[in-house]
Amino acid sequence: MGGNGGGAAGIVAGGTPAPADPASPRAAPAWDRFAGVSPLAARLILALLAICLAAAALVPIGTGRPEPATRSFAENLAAREGVQRPRDDDLALYDRAVERLRRGEHYYDFIVEEQRAAGFPVRPGVAVRLPTLAWINAALPVPAQVALALALMAATLIAWWRRLGEEPGGRRHRLLAMALLFVGVSLGANRYFFQLHELWSGMLLALAFGLHRPGKWGAALAVAALALAIREHALPFVLLMAAMAGWRRDAKECAAWSALALAFLALFAAHLSLVAGHVLPGDRAGQGWLMLRGLSGWLSNVVLSSNLRLLPHWLAGPAVVLMMAGSAGWRSPAGLFASLLYAGYGLLFMIAGRGDNYYWGAMVAPAMFVGLAFAPTALGSLWRAGWRPALPPVNAK
C-alpha cells in the first residue's frame, strides 16, 4: 500500500486506521503551545530554560545580608507552635494604626506621626500605605478576620476549579493544579500576617483572575477594585486586563478596566495630598526602590512571600521558573494572561524594590502555582518537538 501520509492518515494491514502519533503536531491538543514548534525552536527554548533553571538554583535568595525584615519573616513562619513570635516592624506599625482607629481616631491624623516614630520614611507620600486595610481590620474582630481569610481562600479555589474546567486543557490538569493552588493560597490564612497589605491584595487578585472570563468580567472587576484599594501594586493587573480587552476588541470591558484605573489614580492623588499635609521638612525620605537586583530580586520576592520558602534554595528558585514555563506552554486565555502578568511583575521585581520589600511577591505568588501543573506537559512537548525526527512512531493508548 501507499505511505503513511496524505489523506490515508496511516492505514495498517487489514484496513484498520493507525492510532494517532502523539509526537506528531497534528496529534497534539490545540492548548499545548509547544507541541507544534519547530525542532530548532524547541531546542533553543530548552537550552534557554536549562540556563534559567541552573541560574535559579544558584543565585542567592535575598540580598545576601541579614536584613531584619527578611530574617523576621522566615523565623516567624518557621517558629514552633507555642513559641512567641517577634512582631515585624511593619506589622507592628499597622497594629497600632488599627488600635487607634478602633479608639475613634482618623487615619490621616496619626499615620504619618506613627510612621515617623517607628523610624520609617514618610517621603515620598507613596511610602505611607492606603488606609483601606486598616479600616477593614479595625472594623472586624480577629475571629471575623480569620473567617474572612478562609472565605477568600475558599472562593479563590472554587473560582479556579470552575475556570480550569472551562479553559482548554484545564480539565486534564485540574486536580494537580488545584492541589498546587491550595499550597499557594493557604498562606493567606496565616493570622500573623493579616496586617500585610500585599497578602490580602494578592489573594484578591488571584480570585479576580479565577473569576474573569472574556465577556464576563463584572465580578472580577469588583474584586480587583478592592485589591487596588488595599495596595496600589495591583495596578499592573488592572492595566493588563484593560490591554487584553482592547486586544480582543471588547470596547466595553476595556473601558471598564480603564475607568477603574483612572478612578484609582484620582483617589491615590487625594491620598498623597492628605499625607503631604502632615509631612514636615525634616522628615526622613526613602532611599528609593530602583535597585536592579536582577534574577535574585524576582526569585527572592516570590519565594520569600510564598510557601516555596519551605523548600531548599536549589528547588525553590527553579520552581518559580517552571511556573512560568508551564503558564507559557498553556495556550488558553488564562495561560496567556498568566504569562504576561507574571513576566511583567517579574521584570518589576528585577529592577525595583529593596531586599526588605520581598513581600511584594505576594501580589502574584498565590496563583502562580497553577502554572506548575502545566510544566511537565510543556517540558515533554518541547523535548518531543526538539527531537521529533529521531523518534519512532508511538501508538496512542
Which of 66-80, 96-110, 153-167, 174-188 is predicted with the least confidence, judged by mean pLDDT? 66-80
The three cell numbers of residue 20 are: 494517532
What is the average per-residue pLDDT within 59-77?
Answer: 51
CA 360 to chain centre: 10
Distances (CA, A) of 191 to 131, 144, 195, 200, 374: 19, 11, 9, 11, 31
Q: Are 262 and 160 in contact (CB under 8 A)?
A: no
For the chain, the structural domain boundaries read 46-59+97-280+291-386
What's the rounded Cα separation, in Å, for the pair 260 and 240?
Answer: 12
Q: Are 226 and 197 in contact (CB under 8 A)?
A: no
pLDDT at 16: 37
pLDDT at 84: 53
What is the average per-residue pLDDT within 51-63?
Answer: 88
What's the rounded Cα separation, in Å, for the pair 371 and 211?
Answer: 17
What is the average per-residue pLDDT within 297-314?
Answer: 94
CB atoms within 10 A of CB 192: 15
Q: State the greatest distance between any 2 C-alpha atoms of the chain, in Å, as a whole number.
A: 91
Band of pLDDT at residue 20, cut at 50, 70 and 90: very low
Q: Sign of the C-alpha dihedral, residues 93, 97, 98, 100? A: positive
Question: Per-residue pLDDT for 148 more than 60?
Answer: yes
CA 189 to chain centre: 17
The three cell numbers of residue 260 are: 477603574
Element (H, E) at 175: helix 170-185
pLDDT above 90 coverage of the chain, percent: 74
pLDDT at 260: 98
Element (H, E) at 233: none
Q: Are 94 and 102 in contact (CB under 8 A)?
A: no
Q: What is the mean pLDDT of the chain?
A: 87
**297-307 residues labelled b (16+ CB within 10 A) or e (exposed):** bbbbbbbbbbb
In terms of pLDDT, which residue wins out, 387 or 54? 54
pLDDT above 70 coverage of the chain, percent: 85
> pTM value?
0.86
Question: Per-residue pLDDT for 29 more than 90?
Answer: no
pLDDT at 65: 41
pLDDT at 151: 97
What is the average per-residue pLDDT within 221-238?
Answer: 98
